[in-house]
Amino acid sequence: MNFTVKEIKEKDIWDEFLEENESGHVFQSFDWGVFKKTQKWKVRRIMLQDSAGENVAALSILEKKIPLAGFKIWYLPRGPVLDFQNKELVEEVADFLIDFARKNKVMAVKISPDVVLDESTKWIPELLKNKGFKEAVDYQLHKCTVRIDLRDDLDKIFSNFKKNTRWEIRKGESIEIKVEPKKDESGLRDFYQLYSQAMGRDKLSFSYFKNLLKTLEQNISILIAYQPKDYGNHSLSAGFFAHFNHKYWYLFGGSTKKYPTLNASQVLQGDIIRRAKKDPLAKFYDLQGIPCGKPKTLHDKGVLQFKEGFGGEKVELIGEFDYVFSPILYAILRKLNQARMMIMGITGIV
């Protein structure tokens, strides 16, 4: 197929295609690209059209130049977006991306499609490898997650929670832990304080969240769980959530280490599910990131146990894949970047 290639500047055209496609994700949305510009990324939004003039694929490409080397790296977080049930289209978009990257003097391309690995998609990783892609060594986004089907009625969703999780939520609610949405400056600071306690040196900057909230205000929710008045009415747990095309994601969170038996984090998650269910077209709530196999650390074990408590489906995606044009330079870059992130306490590039 000979694609017509268009660089899209209009938000409505871009997001409309994503909303019509099963693999459309907030990380590929128009405004996420606007946000990434504040993080010193160049953004290219490429739409591919077939011979009939129909849009068939969208590629929101984050680009960074490598100082002195004269090369670029490309990253497509949760992209590209297309019909991944169409094998011919998947193959042709992969060929296009490789050729397009080569013409633009790109050192390496990382893709990360939001596609669940199952019987209907298990051929995709093999196809990509046959094209020269390799499964990523350094994942930027998780491969496995827990998703709650929001098409079920609320009673059924809560009945699917594990017994301990239901008990913890009831206990927290019985002592009047309150959850409130707060997207003003004080709410953002409450969130960031709790997030910083949880992340330590690995935390992102306050300006990152401030810019994210400013740019995607219509797609972001901040929820804070507060202590009962008897305990001082302080914030206990906080979550930073995104929604796009009736899909909901838990992006960031944090909680105080004080009063762990108040179960504020469990109450918070129950609250966001209730809020998402107010959307009559809600599809799923993604709790984000769990170990794919047996947890290797106590922390990973705790994360898995907490998220599985909400009764969702454990989902494995097809994964992240790199196409590397200059393996030696890319290996050096990866080592330097890993050292930089360790020194600065930075994880991820989304």
Q: Can you point out the beta strands (E) in the chain? A: 4-7, 42-49, 55-65, 72-76, 81-82, 106-111, 134-135, 144-149, 178-181, 220-226, 235-244, 247-255, 284-286, 313-316, 321-324
Q: Going by C-beta distance under 8 Å and a sequence separation of 6 or more, which residues neighbour residue 181?
A: 187, 221, 222, 223, 224
Q: Report domain extents, the chain.
A: 4-141+318-344, 145-315
To which CATH superfamily is domain 145-315 assigned?
A: Gcn5-related N-acetyltransferase (GNAT) (3.40.630.30)
Q: How far is CA 26 from CA 176, 184, 198, 244, 286, in A?
A: 33, 22, 24, 6, 12
**Is the predicted pLDDT of residue 180 greater than 60, yes or no?**
yes
Q: What's the rounded mean pLDDT across residues 28-50?
A: 98
Q: Which is nearest to 112 in space by CA: 35, 233, 25?
A: 25
CATH code for the structural domain at 4-141+318-344: 3.40.630.30
| Same fold: 4-141+318-344 with 145-315 | yes
226 in Cβ contact with 282 (< 8 Å): no
pLDDT band at 162 (very low <50, low <70, confident <90, very high): very high
- Label residue 344 by pLDDT band (50, 70, 90): very low
Sign of CA dihedral 230, 232, 235, 236: negative
- The two tokens of residue 149 are 């089907």
Range scoring the smallest mean pLDDT among 12-16, 65-69, 312-316: 65-69
The number of CA neighbours under 13 Å toward the Cβ of 272 is: 30
- Is pLDDT larger for residue 109 or for residue 68? 109
State the pLDDT confidence band at 261, using cuts at 50, 70 and 90.
confident
Looking at the whole model, is its pTM more than 0.95? no
Residue-level pLDDT at 345? 39
pLDDT of 143-156, one tens digit each? 999 999 999 999 99
Residue 337 has pLDDT above 70, yes or no: no
- Give me 204's structure tokens: 């992102």
Separation between Cα atoms, residue 126 and residue 149, nearest integer Å: 29
Helix (H, G, I), strand (E, B) or coil at 100: helix
CA distance 74 to 38: 17
- The mean pLDDT of 12-16, rounded to a whole number, is 98
Residue 58 CA to residue 88 CA, distance in Å, equals 16
